Chains A and B, each alone.
Chain A
């Protein structure tokens, strides 16, 4: 069962049964028979103007999902339906010639502000790259557009930043440039892969606020990928929790934080340190386990680590999403008992 987007209008992005398998090669001449199931059949949808957080620990497949959504990786299977006004395509199966058009509508903000800009190119080069590659506008027009965006992301006066090099900018400034680049073609959808995790704590807030404000102002939807639940709470309307390639729980942010139903979500939430020494956290209920899904069995992916694993879990395949109310879904057979 798909976890649908809350609105009745067509979702901007609708992902169905998305899969990404990485072969583990056994040598030069043998076909691989082992695969890492990095993303193993996930479903979600994002409404226009909405921000969905994709959270999970390392190896859960969130980054892989994000990269598939911007076609940096090709999906092994599944559909990514993208509905942007008159442009409706299954992006997973779009042809090479059509990709360029797709790229003007979907963009990405990367994690590392130091590595996501070519050190030999100026801010102007970097931000105008989408325009240059798509052959949009004349050079003076591109300069105008870049100046406009630099002002929008708070790098003022924009003329001062136009021809700077990355090494002349701070981390926060670089990330603003990255945001400007992502927005220069007026995309409807932006995938943000941990955009603040490499920034200093005091700078994170300004970047997060900038992203939120721009989303409101320009009507952009985000897929916000992060391992930090506190940040996801601040940035996202809804959260999807991933574990070993599967989405185990999805729902409105506050609802999930207040009322986690999947055992993994509970363990994850109880493990997050609280910046208040007066609050004592409940013990984290989880057992040790694997970090990569290699040729997984059909049973629930979480069974080895789940403190609540029961007979029903062992006898049945990985559970579908069950409705627990309030647009909140969890993939667990025992949600009503625990």
Chain B
């Protein structure tokens, strides 16, 4: 197990080699009223050194997917089928003890709202120390730990003196950097970042995103970004997946999905996002509400709100099919979706 950041830097990255393969993942939450189909047949691959994004609105299942990868779901969640292969090994088949070995050392996570979850009565450095104690019990003495934590702080752009400070002495952006430092503590190959900048001001957000990009490049890490903010995903990811109502409806290289979204939901999502650059465009609202996952719509889950829906969409669920190099769409009528040319207004 690599312990220091230097070791990681010499890791060779093969961008064609898959790191995490998610295949047909199906996960339900069991509640009194029935089964909530929260993650339905999600398939995608994160390659070594790649930044992948999962974008969607609240309730679409992106956080549930992330937690499912790490097997950190609540007690009432049930894996129905599918595989999650890390370097070829199916994580869903491991025992809890074996999974604990992989967690944080191979895959780490920056949780949503983690920056506000620092224990206020302990120093930040000591809280990271706890992580090291848990995973490297007996292998690191105090001084080695301290040096490692200082190196982590430097890696995320925090001054080394802050290691012995309390969380309330950190600003919001600094707390988020510290959370990232904690995620890096065991030199994982993959970091899952769930809404890493949502609560931050835009200038701090820019700094954090640049930091993450730099760390990713220097350490040869892969990152899975989860966000509802399309603009953020556009800037930091190589590939992205669009989720809706528990399903992955479109997946492909970021530049391609943005220049020509093929799924009606992705298309409408992009058409409803205002931007400060470019000519001022007329935006298209999306009618209706996301469906109840206890009783999802038949066929394609988006059909009640879809302007391109046909009878087939009501009856038959479209598979996530490839339409060009790496670009996949789950839609029967994707060819009807026009170019993303928005006419100007005012």
Q: Within the complex, what minimum Cβ distance (angstroms) separates B156 from chain A?
A: 14
Task: Specify which chain B residues have a CB less than 8 angstroms from the CB of A23 in the assembled complex.
Answer: none
| Interface 9-residue window, one of A98-106, A109-117, A159-167, A204-212 | A204-212
Q: Which residue of B57, B255, B270 is within 8 Å of A200 (Cβ)? A: B57
Q: Which residue of B202, B273, B278 is within 8 Å of A268 (Cβ)? A: B202
Is A57 a contact partner of B201 (Cβ separation < 8 A)?
yes
- Assess whether A1 is interfacial by the CB under 8 Å rule: no
Say whether, besides A202-B268, A206-B285, A230-B276, A273 and B57 are in contact (CB < 8 Å). Answer: no
Is A201 a contact partner of B202 (Cβ separation < 8 A)?
no
- Assess whether A27 is interfacial by the CB under 8 Å rule: no
- Assess whether A139 is interfacial by the CB under 8 Å rule: no
- Assess whether A229 is interfacial by the CB under 8 Å rule: yes
The answer for the CA separation of A205 and B286 in the assembled complex, in Å, is 8
Mark each residue of chain A from 17 to 57: 1 if its CB lies under 8 Å from any CB of chain B, else 0: 00000000000000000000000000000000000000001
- Assess whether A309 is interfacial by the CB under 8 Å rule: no
- Assess whether A284 is interfacial by the CB under 8 Å rule: yes
Mark each residue of chain A from 285 to 302: 1 if its CB lies under 8 Å from any CB of chain B, else 0: 010000100000000000
Mark each residue of chain A from 134 to 150: 1 if its CB lies under 8 Å from any CB of chain B, else 0: 00000000000000000
- Assess whether A90 is interfacial by the CB under 8 Å rule: no
Is A271 a contact partner of B280 (Cβ separation < 8 A)?
no
The answer for the CA separation of A170 and B276 in the assembled complex, in Å, is 28
Is B275 a contact partner of A230 (Cβ separation < 8 A)?
yes
Nearest-CB residue, chain A, relative to B273? A275
Is A205 a contact partner of B203 (Cβ separation < 8 A)?
no
Mark each residue of chain A from 214 to 247: 1 if its CB lies under 8 Å from any CB of chain B, else 0: 0000000000000101110110000000000000
- Assess whether B8 is interfacial by the CB under 8 Å rule: no
Mark each residue of chain B from 202 to 235: 1 if its CB lies under 8 Å from any CB of chain A, else 0: 1101110100000000000000000011111011
Task: Specify which chain B residues have a CB less than 8 angstroms from the CB of A277 in the assembled complex.
Answer: 234-235, 254-255, 258
- Assess whether B272 is interfacial by the CB under 8 Å rule: yes
Count contacts on B: residues with CB < 8 A to the other chain: 39
The answer for the CA separation of A278 and B235 in the assembled complex, in Å, is 9
Is A254 a contact partner of B280 (Cβ separation < 8 A)?
yes
- Assess whether B269 is interfacial by the CB under 8 Å rule: yes
Q: Within the complex, what minimum Cβ distance (angstroms) separates A202 from chain B?
A: 4
- Assess whether A303 is interfacial by the CB under 8 Å rule: no
The answer for the CA separation of A230 and B277 in the assembled complex, in Å, is 9
Say whether, besides A202-B285, A268-B203, A273 and B269 are in contact (CB < 8 Å). Answer: no
Count of A-B contacts judged by CB separation below 8 Å: 109
The answer for the CA separation of A44 and B331 in the assembled complex, in Å, is 51
Mark each residue of chain A from 155 to 175: 1 if its CB lies under 8 Å from any CB of chain B, else 0: 000000000000000101000
Task: Specify which chain A residues have a CB less than 8 angstroms from the CB of B274 in the assembled complex.
Answer: 205, 230-231, 233-234
Task: Specify which chain A residues have a CB less than 8 angstroms from the CB of B287 in the assembled complex.
Answer: 206
- Assess whether A279 is interfacial by the CB under 8 Å rule: yes
Task: Specify which chain B residues have a CB less than 8 angstroms from the CB of A281 in the assembled complex.
Answer: 235
B58, B273, B277, B283 — which one has the most chain A CB atoms within 10 A of its CB? B277
Is A273 a contact partner of B277 (Cβ separation < 8 A)?
no
Is A201 a contact partner of B230 (Cβ separation < 8 A)?
yes
Task: Specify which chain B residues have a CB less than 8 angstroms from the CB of A313 in the assembled complex.
Answer: none
Q: Which residue of B207, B272, B289 is within 8 Å of A201 (Cβ)? A: B272
Q: Within the complex, what minimum Cβ distance (angstroms) separates B62 from chain A?
A: 13
Is B232 a contact partner of A233 (Cβ separation < 8 A)?
no
Q: Within the complex, what minimum Cβ distance (angstroms) separates A176 from chain B?
A: 13
The answer for the CA separation of A33 and B315 in the assembled complex, in Å, is 71
Say whether, besides A58-B201, A254-B280, A271-B205, A278 and B259 are in contact (CB < 8 Å). Answer: yes
Say whether, besides A201-B57, A233-B280, A274 and B275 are in contact (CB < 8 Å). Answer: yes
Name A's B-contacting residues (CB within 8 A).
57-58, 170, 172, 200-206, 209, 227, 229-231, 233-234, 254, 257, 267-279, 281, 284, 286, 291
* 13 CB < 8 A contacts A-B: A200-B57, A201-B273, A202-B268, A202-B285, A205-B272, A205-B285, A233-B274, A271-B206, A272-B202, A274-B231, A274-B275, A277-B234, A284-B203
Task: Kindly list 4 other residue pairs between chains A and B, CB separation below 8 angstroms, not including A271-B203, A272-B276.
Answer: A57-B202, A203-B285, A275-B234, A278-B258
Name B's A-contacting residues (CB within 8 A).
57-58, 171, 201-203, 205-207, 209, 228-232, 234-235, 254-255, 258-259, 268-270, 272-278, 280, 283-287, 289-290
